[in-house]
Structure 1
Amino acid sequence: MLTIGRCGIAKQAFQKLAMGVGFFLVVASGPLIGSSLAQEGGAELKNDTAIDFHIPPQPLGSALNAFAVASGWQISASSELTKGTDSAGVVGNYSREQGLHNLLSGTGLTYRMDGQQMVTIERDASSGVVPGMMGAAGAGAAAGAVAAENADGAVMQNPQKPVKVPEIMVKDVKQRDDDTKSYVVEEANAATRTDTPVRDVPQSIQVITRKVLEEQRVFRVPDVLQNIAGVNPNSNPSGIFDSVLVRGFLLSNRNFYRNGLFDGTAGQLGSDTYNMQRIEMLKGPSAVLYGQGDPGGILNIVTRKPMPNPSYAGNVTLGNFNFYRSEIDATGPLNASKTLMYRLDVVGQKANTFIDYVSQDLVGIAPTVTWLMGSRTTLTVEADYLKRWSNNVNGVPAQGSVLPNINGELPRNLYVGLGDFDKNNRTSYRISYDLTHQFNNTWSIRNAYRYSQLEYDQLTASPGTLSVINQRILTRSGSNNASGLAREHHHDMITNLVGHFRIFEMDHTLLTGVEFRQDMVDPWVRTSNSVAPIDLFAPNYSFGLGTVTGTSSFKGDTKNAGLYLQDQIALLPNLKFMGGFRFDYIHQMQNLNWQAGSPQQTSDDTGISPRLGLVYQPIEPVSLYTSWMRGFSANAPGSFNPTGELFKPERSTQYEIGVKTFFLENRVSTTLAWYHLTRENLVTPDPDPARALQGFSVQTGEQRSQGIELDVTASLIAGWNIIASYAYTDAEVTQDNNPALLHKRLANVPYNKATIWSTYHFQEGALKGFGLGGGVYGYTRRNSSIFGPQVNDPGYVRVDTALYYDHDLPQGNWLGAKVLNMAVNLRNLLDQRYIVQSSNSTTAFQFAEPRTILATVGLQF
């Protein structure tokens, strides 16, 4: 039976809560569950670091398998040696070597280190114990367990058969453990779909680890990404959408990925960090591996996975504006051999915001199971449910926010929607599997699939125009989902084959893969409605939608098949080449007004997307790189062309050079990059006003972004972590059929942005257990929109700070808990009033949140 801990009753109760009751409590009362601040089990950085082993008595083969998962060591043992032999197990805190010594005690076996993490099991000639004679099955298996000896008494070793978990799983366990302890990341899968060190990738990629998420206490992706150079928020912090600009260009719904699979729901729902392990941002066009998308980059969310050692944690966060949030995280093995593991993350949140009538209520649950099917095969099945109850946040007019208003400043809590009538409730469902198999030490295959569904129910009022005379009466228009819930369905499947081999004295890592994707929008009907104007300085929310003024309907289906090939070649030990391309075929169908009998439009597009890169390492810690890559994005078939021809896909091209460094035993990582990125074939309104009024467009637009970016992450000494960035971004319109738009700066992109966040936890002395943190985020002014009157959103500087206290609890306490965590986070400490984003230059300016205080209390078990 698995050992539960010092206080079995309390811990069993907590585990049951995590596995079942927790979700019910979240739904019933909102803030009942808390977030994991726990350090997870698994591979440690140092072999002499103590590990909490939970390996009960069992057959030696399965015990060694469980030990490999817990320690991160690769263990090889002859099947003849382990056959019929039982182990007494190992339970408690031991170093790796002591733990393995205890595991092998009495078996007649010992071990030999073949490296820092490679172990070979062999017979202990001095023990006098014959392997196979241990346990109930010992006598019958003794003959087969003893190694054969020749006439001279020499041992004739049988070929060794590995008794170990898949190497892929061992690396994943170590990575998950590292992500909870450090800001610095050495590998990121998103850039190459292979296990390639960041220093060997000729493209800028930045990773935000779990430790950053927990110490900054952020719950939304745009807030997390502010730590990265060249990434700017493009949504209201109280809204429901995840919208950011990367290198001047919007990250659309086609640029969000989860565990390497396309996630069509993330941008439209607002991802929550409760079950995120890390966030990877690959900058620049990435069609070579991911197909069509906007040119700024690819965002890949890596979710939390099962761990081999039991761990339970929970916390509760309280804040101003009636903010209540709680999470539970539970993980561990489901069987004695630890070949079946689970993880369960649950979140509940009940929260108002600084804007009147706008809430951020949510509930989420994410169960995951990993099955080690054999020594080289791993299967992970994952599900995710997230529901948000919120309102539409459309912003406020320029007069009173960034421009003077004759009536005075607009309050930050002003809401221009429908009050209690307004809603934008959204739900996502995801289920996926991820199957990996290693054929041998050089070839492996991965097949993964996800189905996701998004439901949304909207009733809203959008701002119209502000009265020029009194500057207080704002017209509005309304809309409603007349057909009830609108639904989207997304399917994505990838199959990757990776091989490592050597030709002509050069090492190759070859990736070839296929992807099949389908995105469907169920038929929906939406009405347009009249709405009473609103007085911005004396708002009246007693009126809902008025009479129906129009009806629209839509349905669509997009199918995508992609084939990609990539080779990473070590031309010399310090000179590495990367080359690849992808071919995509895309079929689109949409009907812009099917209810009215309009015909459906279809299009078929193809695209070839290459990438070439070179990395030179004059010394091991320094990588100089350069790359060229292209991307594409198919235009919708519903775009009207006066010639009757379909529009060509948008194309993007990027040139990038840079330097990456890893110093102080990889505790300090920096990336300095210069890039030149163009986006071509943009569809713009027809220059003929008469045809433009009919909805016709022409394909003549071009936009260009270029700049310099610096990203730094560091774990300098024990307890001290830093993440910092700087970006200079020059993004503008370079071609357009409207001369007035030429050289206009792209919206919401500052020339300069600089950020720094640092934390320090005292390791000894009277302050041991205490910690403090703080950060500064600075943006220069931005253009609100390239259209309409030119209005600049002023620059701003925001200061955040935090205090921490972590305390080891005494053994045998009534809760059975190991660690108490407490934290207080203050965002916008100086209560700066500023605009964080604008959707146009007249009526859609979004205030940033004022001073916000969050207090968190958590327990680790």
Structure 2
Amino acid sequence: MFGTITTLCTRRQTQSRPGTCTSIHVLLCSLLLMLASHGSFVHAQEPSSTVSRSFAIAPQPLSSALLQFSDATQIEVLFDATIARDLQTQGVSGDYAPEEALRMLLQDTGLSYRTTSAGSVTLEQAAGLPIVPAPTVQSPPTEPTPQAVSRPAAQKSVKVPEIVVKDVRERDDDAQTYIAEESTTATRTDTPIRDVPQSIQVITRKVIEEQRTFRLQNTLENVSGINATESAASLYDSLIIRGFSATDRSYFRNGLLDPFAQFTASDTYNIRRLEVLKGPAAVLYGQGDPGGVINIVTNKPLPNAGYSANVTLGNFNFYRSELDATGPLNADKTVLYRLNVAGQKAGSFIDYANRDLAAIAPSITWLMSSRTTLTVEADYLRRWSNDPYGLPAQGTILPNLNGPIPRNRSVTLGDFSTFNRTSYRFGYDLTHQFNDKWSIRNAFRHTIVEDDKNNLYAGGFFLEPDERTFQRFQVLQPAVARRHANSMVTNVVGHIRFLEMDHTLLTGVELRQEKTDQFIFTSGSAPPLDLFAPNYSLSPLPFDGDRVSFQADNKTAAFYVQDQITLLPNLKFMGGLRFDYVHQSTQSTTASHASDNHAVSPRLGLVYQPIEPISLYTSWTKGFQPSSPSSFNPNGNLFKPERSTQYEVGMKTFLFDNRVSATLAWFHLTRENLLTPNPDPALALQGFSVQTGEQRSQGVELDVTAQITPGWNMITGYAYTDAEVTKDNDLSLVAKRLANVPYNKFTLWSTYHFQEGPLQGFGFGGGLFAYSSRNSTIFEGQVDMPGYIRADAALYYNRDLQKGNWLGAKGVNVALNIRNLLDQRYVATSYNGSSQFFFGEPRTVLATVGLRF
């Protein structure tokens, strides 16, 4: 295996960074050797089968009763749905040993059980009784059989291969483990990550909770190849994936485009997991940026009642509370609900840059039958903010005659600035399993985003020669700015056998519309600011410029098809094709424009598994992005869509009973048909362009998640990214590094929770986040931002409480998270690839107390 890693590394030859592959090799090998030193993972002690417990399981269908039994005892129960279909249990109530309680649940069902060597329980037909098969709703053929399942003791759940129960199990797993074995983002089917010929990383709920991250850009810092280009106090999520900016086309929510997520800075209060598919994803998601897509998977209702609440306090006047409630709404547990609520009153390390919010996300799931599920969900998010802008290079990166600029300095208009935004979402997700081979999903969401009337904000223009006076601009939105979007997708998935090969077929239709109803603004100069003696009591200057109005409409209709073929038991092929038709129209104060574009986007991939834990893969995929309808050639013709192409080779491993997941990838990604100024200076002055630009990004990425022992989790990643301009009419830009993309990025986060002894319940964790130097911009005024290493730390105490305590709670959780432990002063990023800069957060302390009911 180590030889294979070395071979993959040597395929990426670099003259200036010869140690890159060696570093990756050493990192992965060290991890594997550390794990191997244990001989095998230490399994947690299984609950005793002789110690009595209190049970209150009512008469109900056997499948749901076993879910409650497993949840109460932490014993894994494995069985096939065919033998439990339509069976009822008389339940069990009272104090019994788990083994006795299980026998009572199985009484008169015709089923018996046996205990495996791992301590789990497998159900089977009692001897002498025939098996009467019943219609089943099964997972895709890639779902392992009960005998092949091996899960950590801390993650026990009932193994029922029914779509609904399988989904419920996975929802619960995301809160208990760092490791994800499956993802729907890469294929729109339930495919094991090891069988996907493209790099995909998953951040589970457990990582979010243990790091106490509330913003996407903080959470996604754990993924290799992702960098932020906005301040942590900003109202926007602005990210770079594999060297290229992620715009509004890069964000999805439960598989549907979420075009306004970038503008509302999604909060993690109702996020179950984040899935990042790297590289062009047009084959399934249509027009977008070449770096990849980010799919936000939200919390869904669970069948067992559970309630939790927590309060977080921190420096910079940070106050936050959260509530999570879930459970059934009827006795049969066919109608389930989930309610997530968050409220936050917070400043930040930047003066006047507040981060207040109120959010609520209700959802209801109706298990209409064993084959049909309907989920209806909504969310409301309101942010009150004063969006910060960047500081000049002199005093942040470069020397300043007056000394360093304070980290808390704001260039806004102080209390005069407001930038408040509200988002509303409402949608449904309907799935139906026709039989054990074919299923259909139809999902829809409507989204509205509004900016308040009279939003006012300001930013910096340039620094005067005295290196203290900052000339500023100001922008006013005198009317409510409103945008709305509709997104609907219908997928049909089928599992067939053709020419002695297993196929997973996907066909889908997608319809979208994003519309800007009204956006009006006016701009002008703002009072200059002394960066070393600021006066925020100065009123905004009168606006004497014209009002600019803007409206836009973007409509998409698409059809796609995909086939996943098992050529041999250890050789899998994936091929897909999507056709998109895109209509765009814009209307401004001065002109109206419209355009129609279409594109065909393919993907091909191959996965070879020489042994079961290791997958070697290769893929080729293309993407596209329509040009703006207001951009024209001098002859008046519209430009062709921007195109992107990626070649990727890699290796994925799931080792030690799937307790170590690793992806090593080499990629080569090009972005073509970029607009550059017309080589004729006269035409360039008139705003005409030519479509000759090209940019390229290539590199190596490694992502590892692991449960090293029970209670010890780790997530780490390394990326070497070489991103530059390869073609441009301005020859001075060729070979320039793209802005905000470090050659090297390394992250490590690990936590350990004591499982027994006098320290049981206590835990600690920490991490390192390291970036090499980055280019601030490719244009005039470029400055190298120095690299930095940030250290974070955390302490935990989790305790189960005895029944009848005065709080009525099941458990209490306490956490202390410290970001930038050493309080380093560093520049985190340049503002959207400009020569203005944001400082990283100084030492930030968050204390959280939570209760579980």
1:160-199 equivalence runs, <5 A: 160=134, 167-199=162-194
RMSD: 2.7
Deviations 1:347-402 (A, max 9, x none): 00000000001100001001111111011111111111111100121111111101
Task: Give the whole-Å Cα distance in 1 for the aligned partners of 2:543 and 2:679.
Answer: 35
Please name the residue that 1:460 is paired with.
457
State the TM-score, normalizing by the size of structure 1: 0.86
Please name the residue that 1:329 is paired with.
324
Task: Give the whole-Å Cα distance in 1 for the aligned partners of 2:446 and 2:525.
Answer: 38
Please name the residue that 2:811 is paired with.
819
SS in 1 for 2:470: strand
Task: Give the whole-Å Cα distance in 2 for the aligned partners of 1:539 and 1:78.
Answer: 72
Task: State the AA in 2 paired with 1:692.
Answer: A
Please name the residue that 1:839 is paired with.
831
1:279-358 equivalence runs, <5 A: 279-358=274-353
1:95-494 equivalence runs, <5 A: 99-105=101-107, 107=108, 109-111=110-112, 160=134, 167-457=162-452, 458-468=455-465, 470-482=466-478, 484-494=479-489
Question: Kindly tell me: are residues 373 and 549 of structure 1, through their superposed partners in 2, closer, same or farther at Cα, counting changes over 3 Å?
Answer: same
Consecutive unaligned residues of structure 2, counting only runs of 5 or more, are 1-42, 139-159
Task: Give the whole-Å Cα distance in 2 for the aligned partners of 1:754 and 1:780.
Answer: 9
User: By how many angstroms is 1:464 displaced?
Assistant: 1.0
Please name the residue that 1:663 is paired with.
655
User: By how many angstroms is 1:304 displaced?
Assistant: 0.8
Please name the residue that 1:557 is paired with.
553
Deviations 1:560-602 (A, max 9, x none): 0111111111111111111111000000111122xxxx34211
Q: Does the aligned pair in 1 maintain the 2:440–2:493 contact within 8 Å?
A: yes
User: By how many angstroms is 1:471 displaced?
Assistant: 1.1
Please name the residue that 1:731 is paired with.
723
Question: Kindly tell me: are residues 397 and 59 of structure 1, through their superposed partners in 2, closer, same or farther at Cα, counting changes over 3 Å?
Answer: closer
Q: Does the aligned pair in 2 maintain the 1:465–1:843 contact within 8 Å?
A: no
Q: Does the aligned pair in 1 maintain the 2:83–2:133 contact within 8 Å?
A: no
The counterpart of 1:611, out of the listed 589, 603, 609, is 603
The counterpart of 2:564, out of the listed 562, 568, 571, is 568
Please name the residue that 1:621 is paired with.
613
Q: Does the aligned pair in 2 maintain the 1:656–1:676 contact within 8 Å?
A: yes
Task: Give the whole-Å Cα distance in 1 for the aligned partners of 2:666 and 2:358.
Answer: 42
Q: Does the aligned pair in 1 maintain the 2:229–2:832 contact within 8 Å?
A: no
SS in 1 for 2:269: helix
Question: Kindly tell me: are residues 254 and 98 of structure 1, through their superposed partners in 2, closer, same or farther at Cα, counting changes over 3 Å?
Answer: farther
1:421-820 equivalence runs, <5 A: 421-457=416-452, 458-468=455-465, 470-482=466-478, 484-542=479-537, 543-593=539-589, 598-820=590-812
Deviations 1:410-467 (A, max 9, x none): 0000000110111111111111111111111111111111111111133111211211
Length, aligned pairs only: 777
Task: Give the whole-Å Cα distance in 2 for the aligned partners of 1:300 and 1:49.
Answer: 40
Task: Give the whole-Å Cα distance in 1 for the aligned partners of 2:97 and 2:184.
Answer: 30
Question: Kindly tell me: are residues 276 and 73 of structure 1, through their superposed partners in 2, closer, same or farther at Cα, counting changes over 3 Å?
Answer: farther
Q: Does the aligned pair in 2 maintain the 1:829–1:851 contact within 8 Å?
A: yes
SS in 2 for 1:618: strand
Please name the residue that 1:56 is paired with.
58
Q: Does the aligned pair in 2 maintain the 1:601–1:638 contact within 8 Å?
A: yes
Deviations 1:658-704 (A, max 9, x none): 11111111100111110000000111222333333322222111000
The farther-off stretch of 835-844 and 163-172 is 163-172
Deviations 1:526-559 (A, max 9, x none): 1123321111111111222423222211001111
Q: Does the aligned pair in 2 maintain the 1:221–1:270 contact within 8 Å?
A: yes
SS in 2 for 1:454: strand
Task: State the AA in 2 paired with 1:459.
Answer: L
SS in 2 for 1:605: strand
Deviations 1:723-779 (A, max 9, x none): 011111000000011111111100000001111110000111111111010100110
The farther-off stretch of 52-61 and 615-624 is 52-61
Question: Kindly tell me: are residues 592 and 162 of structure 1, through their superposed partners in 2, closer, same or farther at Cα, counting changes over 3 Å?
Answer: same
Task: State the AA in 2 paired with 1:229.
Answer: S
Task: Give the whole-Å Cα distance in 2 for the aligned partners of 1:92 and 1:773.
Answer: 40
Task: Give the whole-Å Cα distance in 1 for the aligned partners of 2:798 and 2:394.
Answer: 47
Please name the residue that 1:17 is paired with.
none
Task: State the AA in 2 paired with 1:464.
Answer: F
SS in 1 for 2:170: helix
Question: Kindly tell me: are residues 92 and 207 of structure 1, through their superposed partners in 2, closer, same or farther at Cα, counting changes over 3 Å?
Answer: farther
SS in 1 for 2:222: coil
Question: Kindly tell me: are residues 193 and 819 of structure 1, through their superposed partners in 2, closer, same or farther at Cα, counting changes over 3 Å?
Answer: same
Deviations 1:206-254 (A, max 9, x none): 0001110011110000011111111111110011111110100011110
Question: Kindly tell me: are residues 111 and 344 of structure 1, through their superposed partners in 2, closer, same or farther at Cα, counting changes over 3 Å?
Answer: same
Task: State the AA in 2 paired with 1:404.
Answer: P
Task: Give the whole-Å Cα distance in 2 for the aligned partners of 1:241 and 1:803.
Answer: 30
Task: Give the whole-Å Cα distance in 1 for the aligned partners of 2:686 and 2:647.
Answer: 38
SS in 1 for 2:732: helix
User: By how many angstroms is 1:169 displaced?
Assistant: 1.4
Q: Does the aligned pair in 1 maintain the 2:137–2:436 contact within 8 Å?
A: no
Question: Kindly tell me: are residues 841 and 626 of structure 1, through their superposed partners in 2, closer, same or farther at Cα, counting changes over 3 Å?
Answer: closer
**Seq. identity, %:** 59
Q: Does the aligned pair in 2 maintain the 1:464–1:843 contact within 8 Å?
A: no
The farther-off stretch of 407-416 and 682-691 is 682-691
Q: Does the aligned pair in 1 maintain the 2:68–2:304 contact within 8 Å?
A: no
Task: Give the whole-Å Cα distance in 1 for the aligned partners of 2:55 and 2:299.
Answer: 21
Q: Which has the higher contact order (CA 8 A, sep 6+)?
A: 1
Deviations 1:272-312 (A, max 9, x none): 11111110000000000000000000100111111111111
Task: Give the whole-Å Cα distance in 2 for the aligned partners of 1:325 and 1:173.
Answer: 28
SS in 2 for 1:254: helix
Task: State the AA in 2 paired with 1:359.
Answer: N
Task: State the AA in 1 paired with 2:91.
Answer: G
Task: Give the whole-Å Cα distance in 1 for the aligned partners of 2:176 and 2:843.
Answer: 28
Task: Give the whole-Å Cα distance in 1 for the aligned partners of 2:47 and 2:627.
Answer: 57
Question: Kindly tell me: are residues 813 and 860 of structure 1, through their superposed partners in 2, closer, same or farther at Cα, counting changes over 3 Å?
Answer: same
SS in 2 for 1:175: helix
Question: Kindly tell me: are residues 60 and 824 of structure 1, through their superposed partners in 2, closer, same or farther at Cα, counting changes over 3 Å?
Answer: closer
Question: Kindly tell me: are residues 91 and 197 of structure 1, through their superposed partners in 2, closer, same or farther at Cα, counting changes over 3 Å?
Answer: farther
SS in 2 for 1:520: strand
State the TM-score, normalizing by the size of structure 2: 0.87
Consecutive unaligned residues of structure 1, counting only runs of 5 or more, are 1-43, 126-154
Question: Kindly tell me: are residues 98 and 546 of structure 1, through their superposed partners in 2, closer, same or farther at Cα, counting changes over 3 Å?
Answer: farther
Question: Kindly tell me: are residues 682 and 163 of structure 1, through their superposed partners in 2, closer, same or farther at Cα, counting changes over 3 Å?
Answer: closer
User: By how many angstroms is 1:855 displaced?
Assistant: 0.5
Task: State the AA in 1 paired with 2:234.
Answer: G
Task: State the AA in 2 paired with 1:410.
Answer: I
Note if 1:89 corresponds to 2:113.
no
Question: Kindly tell me: are residues 430 and 95 of structure 1, through their superposed partners in 2, closer, same or farther at Cα, counting changes over 3 Å?
Answer: farther
User: By how many angstroms is 1:819 displaced?
Assistant: 1.0
Task: Give the whole-Å Cα distance in 2 for the aligned partners of 1:236 and 1:52.
Answer: 51
User: By how many angstroms is 1:162 displaced?
Assistant: 5.8
